[in-house]
Structure 1
Amino acid sequence: MINLVALPCLCVDVFDGTDELRAGGEALNFAVHASKFEEFNVSILGAVGQDSYAKFIMDSVSDKRIDVSHVRVEEDKVTANNRTYLTADGDRYYKDDSWTGDIVDKMILNQDELDFIKKSEVVFIHFWAGCFEQIIDLKKNNNFRLAVDFVEYRNFKEMEKYAPYIDYFLISGEESILPIFEAFSKKYKGLFNASLADKGSVTYYNGEKYFVPADEALEIVDTTGCGDSYHAGFVCSHMLIGDIYEAMRVGTEFATETLSHYGGF
C-alpha cells in the first residue's frame, strides 16, 4: 500500500442563491478521489473549528476510505468556508469577501504532524497553504513524492524556486503558460502539468510535451473541484503505472465526472 497525505485545505463551499452546501477544499477533494484507488492509504491532515461546517465536512467523508485522525479541532477558530457564485454556464467565480480561511492560510504544522508526513510516500498540498514552506523544507531531507497545486498563481519566477523539490508541479490556466512549463521541464526532473479546462491538459517531462483533450461533458453543473479531481487521478495513476498519457486520461475522466454535480465530489 502507498501512504498518501493531502493537506491542509478542508472547507465548505456555500453556493450563493441555492440551498447547496458542499464539503471541499483542494486537500479534501484530492483525498476523496485518491481514495478510489485501492492501492493507496489516504489521510487528510488539516484543521477545522468546532462548528456546523466542521461536522458537515467530517460527515461528508465518513463513508470514504480516508483516515481523518490527523484533522485538528481548534475551538477558537472558524472552519474554512468559501461563498461560491455560479454563472449560467456553471463556471464558478468569487468575490473579495467569499473566502473565510485563516485556519488554513495560517496553519503551522507541529512536530507530530511533521513526523507523520515524513512516513508518507506521496504528499499533496496547495501553494497558498500556511504550512507550504514547512513541506518544502521537509521534502529536502525526505524521499516522499511531492505534488503541489499552484492553482492560479502566476509569479513564475517565485514558483521556479520550488521546482527542484516538486515531483508533480500542477497548475490550472491558459495556453500562454505552456512555454514556461516547457522550459521548467528541461531544467528540473518533475512532471509539469497544466489543466486547460475545455482545451484539455498538457504535461511536460524532460522537455517532451504530452497532450490529452478534454472529454465532452454531457452536462456542466459546476466546475468546482474539477482541477482537484484531475490532479488526484493524474498523480495516483502515475504513481501506480508510470505512464504519463494514461495518468492524464484518468485525471480527465475524474474531472469530467465532477462537472456533472455541485462540489468536488
Structure 2
Amino acid sequence: MKIIAIGDNVVDYYKHQNKIYPGGNALNVAVLCKRLNVEYSSYIGILGNDMAAAHIIDVLEKEKVDFSRIRQGYGENGMAVVSLDEHGDRVFIGSNKGGIQSRLGIRLTPEDYSFIEKHDLLHTSVYSNIEHVLPDLKYAIAISFDFSTQTNEDYLEKVCPYVQYAFFSGSHLTEEECRVLMHKAYRLGSKVVCITRGADGVLLYNGEKVYRKSVIPTDVIDTLGAGDSFIAGFLVSYMAESSIEKALRHGAANASETCKNYGAFGYGLDYFPKNELAVQ
C-alpha cells in the first residue's frame, strides 16, 4: 500500500511543558501510516522557515516519510496552543491560524498529479483547503477525508461525492444525529462513513449496516492525535483486508496506543516563544 497525505501540518505547543510536538491531521496520518508498515508514505504541504518547520522536516526524515514535494514559504509554520484537562483530553486554546500555509494555499502542479497517481490512497481534511481539486483527483486515486466537526449540508454536498472514506468527529452528537449524518454522507457519494465519538467509541456505515466499536480501555495521558491514529489504523487495515470489523479493531487499538504518550506521535522539542501573542 502506498499512501499520500496532502494538507495541514502544525506544531502543537504544550504551554505547560514548554514543548512543541509535530502534528496536523494530514501530517499525522502520513507518519502514523508509515509506522504501521505501509510500503510507502508521502506528504505534501506548506511549511514555514522557522524552528517549528525545521523540527517537522527533521521528524519526517526520521520517520522515512517522503516529503520531496513540500513547499516552504517565508514565515511562521502553523502552530496550535494545547492544554490538557484532568482526563488527558486535549483542549485547543489558541493558534496562529495555520501560519504561512493558510495564507498561501496549496496549488497542485501537473508534476504533483503525476506523483499522486503513483499512490493507492490520498488522505486530506477540512483543514487542508484543497476541496477545489477533489473532482480532478476522484478518478485517479481513492480519497479519504477528515471532516472533523464540519457537517454543514452545503459543504457535505461539495465534498462527499468525491471521497470514498469520510471521517467525522461526533462527540457532541447524539447517536441518532450520527445515524442521520452517516446516511446523508453515504447518499451524497461517500462509500464508508465513520464517526468517532470519544469515550463513546465509533459508529460506521457502509450502505449495508451500521457498525459500532467501543474504545479500548487505557491509561490516558493525552488524547491529541487519537482520532488521526484511528484513521491511519483503519485505512491501513481496510485497504489490506477489506474487513470492516478488523479495520475498526485496528483503528481502536492504534488510537489507544496514541493516548499513552504526549503529542500525536511524540518528538517533543523544548520551545520558548519570543512572541506569546503570535500563538494566543
Same fold (TM over 0.5): yes
- Counterpart amino acid of residue 236 in structure 2: C
1:70 is paired with a residue of what secondary structure? coil
* % same residue: 26
Which residue of structure 2 lines up, in the alignment, with residue 121 of structure 1? Answer: 120
1:171-250 equivalence runs, <5 A:
171-173=168-170, 174=173, 175=175, 176-185=177-186, 188=189, 190-218=191-219, 220-250=220-250
Aligned-residue offset at 1:60: 2.1
Which residue of structure 2 lines up, in the alignment, with residue 91 of structure 1? Answer: 89
Which residue of structure 2 lines up, in the alignment, with residue 164 of structure 1? Answer: 161
Closer/same/farther in 2, CA of residues 99 and 230 from structure 1, 3 Å limit: farther
C-alpha distance in structure 2 between counterparts of 1:132 and 1:187, whole Å: 15
Contact conserved, 2:49 with 2:77, CA < 8 A, in 1?
yes
| Aligned counterpart in structure 2 of residue 78 of structure 1, from 66, 76, 79 | 76
- 4+ runs deviating over 4 angstroms: none
Aligned-residue offset at 1:181: 0.5
Aligned-residue offset at 1:249: 0.7
Aligned-residue offset at 1:117: 1.7
Which residue of structure 2 lines up, in the alignment, with residue 19 of structure 1? Answer: 18
Which residue of structure 2 lines up, in the alignment, with residue 131 of structure 1? Answer: 130
Aligned-residue offset at 1:86: 1.7
C-alpha distance in structure 1 between counterparts of 2:207 and 2:2, whole Å: 27
Closer/same/farther in 2, CA of residues 67 and 187 from structure 1, 3 Å limit: closer
C-alpha distance in structure 2 between counterparts of 1:255 and 1:78, whole Å: 30
User: Residue deviations 1:125-183, cap 9 Å, x none?
Assistant: 0113122322x1222442x1100000111213421332221111001113332222034
C-alpha distance in structure 2 between counterparts of 1:88 and 1:55, whole Å: 32
- Residue range with higher mean Cα deviation, 150-159 or 225-234: 150-159
1:67 is paired with a residue of what secondary structure? coil
2:66 is paired with a residue of what secondary structure? strand
Which residue of structure 1 lines up, in the alignment, with residue 98 of structure 2? Answer: 101
Aligned-residue offset at 1:39: 3.9
| 2:143 is the counterpart of 1:146 | yes
Contact conserved, 2:82 with 2:91, CA < 8 A, in 1?
yes
Aligned-residue offset at 1:102: 4.0
Closer/same/farther in 2, CA of residues 187 and 153 from structure 1, 3 Å limit: closer
Aligned-residue offset at 1:189: 5.2
Q: Of the two structures, which has the highest relative contact order with CA contacts closer than 8 Å and spacing of 6 or more?
A: 2
Contact conserved, 1:148 with 1:170, CA < 8 A, in 2?
yes
Contact conserved, 1:200 with 1:214, CA < 8 A, in 2?
yes
1:100 is paired with a residue of what secondary structure? coil
Contact conserved, 1:185 with 1:207, CA < 8 A, in 2?
no
Which residue of structure 2 lines up, in the alignment, with residue 44 of structure 1? Answer: 43
2:43 is paired with a residue of what secondary structure? strand
2:235 is paired with a residue of what secondary structure? helix
C-alpha distance in structure 2 between counterparts of 1:177 and 1:39, whole Å: 31
User: Residue deviations 1:178-201, cap 9 Å, x none?
Assistant: 222034335635100011111111
Aligned-residue offset at 1:214: 0.5
| TM-score computed with the length of structure 2 as normaliser | 0.86
User: Residue deviations 1:214-265, cap 9 Å, x none?
Assistant: 10012x1111111111001111111110001111111101100111111111
C-alpha distance in structure 1 between counterparts of 2:78 and 2:181, whole Å: 33
Give the superposed CA RMSD. 1.8
